[in-house]
Amino acid sequence: MQETHLNDVVEAIKAARRIIIVPGYGMAQSRCQHLVGSLVKVLNSRRIDCKFCIHPVAGRLPGHMNVLLAEAEIPYSIVYEMEKINDDFDKTDLVLVIGANDIVNPDALENPKSVIAGMPVCEVWKSKEVVVMKRSKATGYAAIENPLFYKPNCKMLFGDASKSLTDILNSLTKDLGPTFTSQTKQEVRVEVQETEEKEEDLTPYLNKCVKEIAVPKEVSEGEKRVSITPSIAKKLAKIGFRVKVEDGAGLGSGFSNDQYQKAGCTIADTRDVWENSEIIVKVRGPTHNPKLGYHEADALHKTKILISYLYPAQNQELLQRLCENRPELTVLALDCTPRITRAQKLDTLSSTANLAGYR
C-alpha cells in the first residue's frame, strides 16, 4: 500500500477538475457526513465538478448513505446510483473513497474465485487517481484483501475520516477564514450557514403563501434535531408555505432564530405553535411538554395534519390518544415511509417492514 499525507491529498484536490466521492460505512462510523457536505461546497466554490457514487449496499442497510448525505443537505442532483455513474470513472481526475472497502474491490469483477465474485462494485480504479480514507489496513466486512489498495494509482490516507476531512477543509479554506472542527455537526452547520448562505428577498413568495407549517421545539431528552432547517423553509416559501418556528427550536442543531427569520419564518411561543397551527412537523412524536404543562397530543386544538416519527406498533397508546382527541386529524408517520432508491428526500432510516398492518 502507498500511504499518502494531508498536503499531497490537498494538492491532488486542487489540481482536479472532476472528483467523485464514494462513501461507505466508515463515513457513518466517524459521523462526518456534515464535513463531507462542507467539502462539496468548498469544491463547488473552486469550480470543481463533484459527484457521488452510491453503492446499493454501502453501509448497514439499503439507503444508508443516501440518508447521511441528505442529513448533510447535499444536493440530490449530484448523488448517483452506482450503475448510473460507473462509466464516468475513466473520465475522472480523482476519486475520494471515504470508509469503503468491499464495494470498491476489483476482485468482484476480476477474480472468479473471490467470495464476492460477481458482485457489482464501484469501479474507482479506472480513474486517474484514487485516495482511500481508512482507519487502518484491516479488511472490510467480507474479511478479504482488496487489490485496489495496491494499485499504482491508489493511495491510502490512514486515520479517522472525521479528522482527515477536517484537516483537508482547513487546508483548502485557510485563505478564506472559516475554521472547521470535527467535534460536532452543529459547529459545521453554523460555519457553513454563516460563511456561505446568501441573502435572498423572499417577500414576493411570502405574500402569496396560502398555508402555514409549524415547527415545535423538540422536548424529548437528548433530542437536538429540528424538523425544518432554514434552507428548507426557504424552499417551502417558494411553493406556498409560510413556516412558523417555536422560539429556540433550531438551537440544538445550530440554527438561530435570526437565521430562521432571514429565511422568511416567523418566531412564535410554545402555545401559539401547538394550539393555533393547522400543520405541525416535528421529529419525535407528541409527548409531555413542560412548557405547556400537559401532553402535546392534548394541545392539537386546530391541527389538521401532524407529520412526525410515530412508530405505530410501539405507540398504540399515543395513537389512541390522538384518535380520541382529534378524530379528524391526519397523521403521517415518517417511519412508515417506504424506502425507494430514487426517493432520497423521503428516505427516513426506517424499514419497509413497518408498513405491515397499517393504512
**pLDDT tens per residue, range 101-139:** 999 999 999 999 888 888 899 999 999 999 999 988 887
Q: Within a domain: residue 197? A: no
Closest CA relative to residue 283, chosen from 251, 258, 306? 306
Do residues 94 and 63 both lie within one domain? yes
Residue 191: is its pLDDT beyond 60? Answer: no
| Mean per-residue pLDDT, 154-178 | 87
Last residue within a domain, chosen from 156, 191, 226: 191
Do residues 75 and 168 both lie within one domain? yes
- Supply the CATH number for residue 244's domain: 3.40.50.720
- Residue identified by cell 491532488 is 12
Q: Within a domain: residue 179? A: yes
Q: How many domains does the chain have?
A: 2
| Mean per-residue pLDDT, 282-288 | 94
C-alpha cell at 116: 464476492
Query: What is the per-residue burial (b if ≥16 Cβ within 10 Å, else e) of 20-48?
Result: bbbbbbbbbebebbbbbbbbbbbbeeeeb
Q: Within a domain: residue 283? A: yes
Do residues 290 and 173 both lie within one domain? no
Is the pTM higher than 0.85? The answer reads: no
Do residues 23 and 172 both lie within one domain? yes
Do residues 38 and 151 both lie within one domain? yes
254: domain range? 203-355
Do residues 116 and 36 both lie within one domain? yes
pLDDT score of 177: 57
pLDDT score of 347: 45
Q: Within a domain: residue 101? A: yes
Residue 350: is its pLDDT beyond 60? Answer: no
Q: Within a domain: residue 94? A: yes
30 — pLDDT class (breaks 50, 70, 90)? confident
pLDDT score of 284: 92
pLDDT score of 175: 61
Q: Among 78-92, 181-195, 305-319, 323-337, which is the least confidently predicted range?
A: 181-195
Q: Within a domain: residue 1? A: no
Do residues 25 and 147 both lie within one domain? yes
Do residues 117 and 251 both lie within one domain? no
Question: Mean pLDDT in the chain?
Answer: 85
